[in-house]
Amino acid sequence: MLKTFRPTDKKCVVLIGMPGAGKSTLGRLLCSRIHYAWVDTDDLLQAWWGMPLQGILDHLGLDAFLDAEEEMVRAINLRRTIISTGGSVVYRHLGMQHLAGLGPVIYLRASVQSISSRISNADSRGLVRHSGCSLEQLFDERRVLYEKYADHVLDTDEMSVQESAEAIRKWVKK
Protein backbone atom coordinates (compact mmCIF):
# COMPACT_ATOMS: atom_id res chain seq x y z
CA MET A 1 0.00 0.00 0.00
CA LEU A 2 1.29 3.45 -0.88
CA LYS A 3 1.85 5.86 1.95
CA THR A 4 -0.18 9.06 1.69
CA PHE A 5 2.06 12.07 1.18
CA ARG A 6 1.52 14.78 3.75
CA PRO A 7 3.62 17.91 3.24
CA THR A 8 3.93 18.40 7.01
CA ASP A 9 5.93 15.16 7.12
CA LYS A 10 8.52 16.60 4.77
CA LYS A 11 9.44 19.95 6.30
CA CYS A 12 12.86 21.49 5.81
CA VAL A 13 15.09 22.87 8.55
CA VAL A 14 16.37 26.40 7.87
CA LEU A 15 19.62 27.60 9.47
CA ILE A 16 20.21 31.34 9.85
CA GLY A 17 22.97 33.32 11.51
CA MET A 18 26.04 35.44 10.93
CA PRO A 19 28.72 34.41 8.48
CA GLY A 20 31.02 32.14 10.43
CA ALA A 21 28.24 30.89 12.72
CA GLY A 22 28.58 27.40 11.22
CA LYS A 23 25.48 27.20 9.03
CA SER A 24 27.19 25.35 6.19
CA THR A 25 29.43 23.16 8.34
CA LEU A 26 26.55 22.24 10.62
CA GLY A 27 24.13 21.79 7.72
CA ARG A 28 26.40 19.23 6.04
CA LEU A 29 26.77 17.27 9.27
CA LEU A 30 23.12 17.51 10.27
CA CYS A 31 21.77 16.20 6.96
CA SER A 32 23.33 12.79 7.55
CA ARG A 33 22.02 12.64 11.11
CA ILE A 34 18.38 13.23 10.19
CA HIS A 35 18.56 11.77 6.66
CA TYR A 36 17.77 14.99 4.84
CA ALA A 37 19.38 16.58 1.81
CA TRP A 38 21.42 19.74 2.25
CA VAL A 39 21.60 22.96 0.26
CA ASP A 40 23.43 26.22 0.83
CA THR A 41 21.66 29.29 -0.55
CA ASP A 42 25.00 31.04 -1.12
CA ASP A 43 25.99 28.15 -3.40
CA LEU A 44 22.66 28.41 -5.23
CA LEU A 45 23.11 32.16 -5.70
CA GLN A 46 26.64 31.67 -7.04
CA ALA A 47 25.44 28.97 -9.44
CA TRP A 48 22.53 31.15 -10.56
CA TRP A 49 24.81 34.12 -11.31
CA GLY A 50 27.89 32.15 -12.37
CA MET A 51 30.27 34.07 -10.13
CA PRO A 52 31.43 34.24 -6.49
CA LEU A 53 29.32 36.14 -3.96
CA GLN A 54 31.74 39.05 -3.88
CA GLY A 55 31.52 39.31 -7.66
CA ILE A 56 27.72 39.34 -7.52
CA LEU A 57 27.80 41.99 -4.80
CA ASP A 58 30.28 44.11 -6.75
CA HIS A 59 28.22 43.74 -9.94
CA LEU A 60 24.78 44.43 -8.45
CA GLY A 61 25.41 46.63 -5.45
CA LEU A 62 23.99 46.05 -1.99
CA ASP A 63 20.23 46.53 -2.52
CA ALA A 64 20.07 44.64 -5.83
CA PHE A 65 22.11 41.82 -4.29
CA LEU A 66 19.58 41.52 -1.46
CA ASP A 67 16.75 41.55 -4.01
CA ALA A 68 18.45 38.80 -6.05
CA GLU A 69 19.02 36.75 -2.90
CA GLU A 70 15.36 37.13 -1.95
CA GLU A 71 14.19 36.16 -5.45
CA MET A 72 16.35 33.04 -5.41
CA VAL A 73 15.24 32.06 -1.88
CA ARG A 74 11.59 32.49 -2.79
CA ALA A 75 12.09 30.09 -5.72
CA ILE A 76 13.18 27.28 -3.39
CA ASN A 77 10.58 24.52 -3.19
CA LEU A 78 12.16 21.68 -1.27
CA ARG A 79 11.23 19.14 1.36
CA ARG A 80 13.36 17.10 3.76
CA THR A 81 16.29 19.45 3.25
CA ILE A 82 18.59 21.33 5.58
CA ILE A 83 18.81 24.85 4.14
CA SER A 84 21.91 26.82 5.16
CA THR A 85 21.22 30.44 4.29
CA GLY A 86 23.42 33.40 3.55
CA GLY A 87 23.78 35.66 6.56
CA SER A 88 22.02 38.53 4.80
CA VAL A 89 18.82 36.61 4.00
CA VAL A 90 17.10 38.19 7.03
CA TYR A 91 17.08 41.61 5.36
CA ARG A 92 14.14 40.65 3.14
CA HIS A 93 10.87 39.81 4.89
CA LEU A 94 9.21 37.98 1.98
CA GLY A 95 12.20 35.71 1.59
CA MET A 96 12.17 34.89 5.30
CA GLN A 97 8.43 34.37 5.21
CA HIS A 98 8.90 31.84 2.40
CA LEU A 99 11.68 30.02 4.27
CA ALA A 100 9.57 29.89 7.43
CA GLY A 101 6.85 28.23 5.36
CA LEU A 102 9.29 25.48 4.41
CA GLY A 103 10.04 24.52 8.00
CA PRO A 104 11.42 25.68 11.33
CA VAL A 105 14.03 28.43 11.31
CA ILE A 106 16.96 27.89 13.67
CA TYR A 107 19.24 30.78 14.56
CA LEU A 108 22.81 29.64 15.19
CA ARG A 109 23.87 32.26 17.69
CA ALA A 110 27.58 32.85 18.23
CA SER A 111 29.31 35.77 19.89
CA VAL A 112 30.90 38.49 17.81
CA GLN A 113 34.27 37.31 19.15
CA SER A 114 33.67 33.78 17.81
CA ILE A 115 32.45 35.13 14.48
CA SER A 116 35.47 37.40 14.18
CA SER A 117 37.89 34.55 14.88
CA ARG A 118 36.21 32.34 12.24
CA ILE A 119 36.11 34.94 9.45
CA SER A 120 39.53 35.73 8.08
CA ASN A 121 38.44 36.91 4.64
CA ALA A 122 35.61 39.35 5.46
CA ASP A 123 36.54 41.74 2.65
CA SER A 124 36.54 39.10 -0.10
CA ARG A 125 33.87 36.59 0.93
CA GLY A 126 30.81 38.54 -0.13
CA LEU A 127 29.96 39.89 3.29
CA VAL A 128 26.87 42.03 2.71
CA ARG A 129 27.28 45.29 4.60
CA HIS A 130 27.34 49.02 4.01
CA SER A 131 30.70 50.60 3.35
CA GLY A 132 32.50 51.36 6.60
CA CYS A 133 30.28 49.04 8.66
CA SER A 134 32.36 47.06 11.15
CA LEU A 135 31.74 43.42 11.93
CA GLU A 136 30.51 44.44 15.38
CA GLN A 137 28.01 46.91 13.89
CA LEU A 138 26.82 44.29 11.41
CA PHE A 139 26.46 41.77 14.24
CA ASP A 140 24.35 44.19 16.31
CA GLU A 141 22.18 45.09 13.31
CA ARG A 142 21.49 41.50 12.28
CA ARG A 143 21.10 39.96 15.73
CA VAL A 144 17.68 41.58 16.12
CA LEU A 145 16.54 40.19 12.76
CA TYR A 146 17.84 36.68 13.46
CA GLU A 147 15.96 36.62 16.75
CA LYS A 148 12.82 37.98 15.09
CA TYR A 149 12.64 35.19 12.53
CA ALA A 150 13.90 32.27 14.65
CA ASP A 151 11.66 29.48 15.83
CA HIS A 152 14.56 28.19 17.88
CA VAL A 153 17.89 29.69 19.00
CA LEU A 154 20.96 27.53 19.49
CA ASP A 155 23.96 29.06 21.26
CA THR A 156 26.98 27.50 19.58
CA ASP A 157 29.93 29.17 21.31
CA GLU A 158 30.37 26.46 23.92
CA MET A 159 29.36 23.52 21.72
CA SER A 160 31.26 21.47 19.19
CA VAL A 161 29.76 21.06 15.73
CA GLN A 162 28.77 17.50 16.70
CA GLU A 163 27.05 18.69 19.88
CA SER A 164 25.24 21.41 17.95
CA ALA A 165 24.06 18.91 15.33
CA GLU A 166 22.79 16.59 18.05
CA ALA A 167 20.96 19.43 19.82
CA ILE A 168 19.22 20.39 16.57
CA ARG A 169 18.41 16.75 15.78
CA LYS A 170 16.74 16.34 19.17
CA TRP A 171 14.82 19.62 18.80
CA VAL A 172 13.60 18.77 15.29
CA LYS A 173 12.51 15.25 16.25
CA LYS A 174 10.39 16.25 19.26
The answer to whether the beta carbons of residues 15 and 83 sit under 8 Å apart is: yes
Separation between Cα atoms, residue 74 and residue 94, nearest integer Å: 8
pLDDT at 57 over 60: yes
pLDDT at 119 over 90: no
Instruction: For the chain, give the mean pLDDT.
Output: 88
pLDDT at 123 over 90: no
Domain ranges, ordered by start, for the chain: 9-173
Average pLDDT score over residue span 25-42:
94
**Parallel, antiparallel, or unpaired: how do β-strands 105-109 and 152-155 relate?**
parallel
**Any idea what DSSP says for residue 2?**
P
CATH class of 9-173: alpha beta
The identity of residue 104, as a single letter, is P
- Which DSSP helix (H) or strand (E) runs through 15? strand 13-16
